[in-house]
Amino acid sequence: MTEHKSGFVAIVGRPNVGKSTLLNRIVEQKIAIMSDKAQTTRNKIQGVYTTENIQMVFIDTPGIHKPQHRLGDYMVNEAYDALQEVEAVLFMVSADEKRGKGDNFIIERLQKLEAPVFLVINKIDKVHPDDLLTIIEDYAKQMAFTEVVPLSATQGNNFATLMQLLEEQMPEGPQYFPEEQITDHPEYFIVSEFIREKVLLLTQEEVPHSVAITIDSMKRDENDKIRIQATIIVERDSQKGIIIGKGGKMLKQIGIKARQDIEKMLGDKVYLELWVKVQKDWRDKQRSLDDFGYKKETL
């Protein structure tokens, strides 16, 4: 019999380098939301990759940044927690951005780890191939990486190479999740994230980071349609006005786009009802953070 291998892999990096895009490619389904806004990912999201002989659990982490409030503290702690007790760490950087203070800050943390660290240079489709060597040499001077893998998470270039190298790194171990399971999060969490993604996509710069989503109800009705009632939480009345839009137009757009993703994930017809509620300065109130799912796990 062939031995079964398994292990955990953390994906870390500055905000907006493509960590969620890579996770979605690994599990071949959208479980992590994406946008061009920094700090899109707030929680650790585990994606499960399973074949006959191996199971790798990938942990997509919030982008590491300088926190401005309690929510920021929570997000950075989530990212650092993911570095504990993993078999490998993927440090993702963007080929079209110069190494910055944020990257150096992360590298300082990574140098203290015992786990192998892979440098994953994403977005190689956005730079000339001749520029790659300079980028690799620059990062290699900062620390000794186990492997350097340039790739495009969007297009899939060199993705198979990364997965092969990671498989070689995994020790013998059990299957932690059923083979059909691709994430450790419940469906309602993914649903709330899809709604938040559409707010990020459609609203102005002042709104996105002030938004939280609560799923108030999610059940099947007598017509076999899934009815979801959700509330979009913001910090100011002006933000509420932006999200509702003139004559409710913006809220309707958010609902339509979110419902399309939710139906695709659930494989079922969905009726989505949205409300908007103001809760002032919720990002700095521990009780609000706990209520909205940004709760520190205790062992």
176 is a domain residue: no
* Residues 139 and 225 placed together within one structural domain of the fold: no
Angle at 46 between CA 43 and CA 48, to 5 degrees: 165
* Residues 145 and 17 placed together within one structural domain of the fold: yes
The DSSP code for 281 is: T
Q: Of the ranges 144-158, 263-277, 280-294, which one carries the lowest mean pLDDT score?
A: 280-294
Query: What are the distances in angstroms from CA 53 to CA 25, 59, 113?
Result: 20, 20, 27
Query: What are the distances in angstroms from CA 183 to CA 28, 198, 220, 253, 255?
Result: 11, 21, 22, 28, 24
174 is a domain residue: no
- The enclosing H or E element of 276 equals strand 270-278
- What tokens appear for 73 in the block? 């503290």
| 122 and 149 Cβ atoms separated by less than 8 Å | no
The residue-averaged pLDDT of 76-98 equals: 81
Type of residue numbered 21: T
pLDDT tens readout for residues 272-292: 999 998 888 666 656 656 555
* Interatomic CA distance for residues 13 and 115, integer angstroms: 16
141 is a domain residue: yes
pLDDT band at residue 38, thresholds of 50, 70 and 90?
very low
Type of residue numbered 237: D
pLDDT tens readout for residues 221-240: 777 788 999 999 888 888 89
* Residues 9 and 152 placed together within one structural domain of the fold: yes
Domain with 80 in it: 5-169
* Residues 18 and 152 placed together within one structural domain of the fold: yes
247 is a domain residue: yes
CATH number at residue 219: 3.30.300.20
Give the model's pLDDT for residue 219.
Answer: 87
- What is the percent of the chain where pLDDT is above 90? 37
How many domains are contained in the chain?
Answer: 2
CATH number at residue 139: 3.40.50.300
* Interatomic CA distance for residues 62 and 74, integer angstroms: 9
The residue-averaged pLDDT of 28-37 equals: 57
181 is a domain residue: no
* Interatomic CA distance for residues 129 and 127, integer angstroms: 6
* Residues forming beta bridges with residue 195, ordered by sequence position: none
Q: Of 169, 200, 231, which marks where a domain is finished?
A: 169
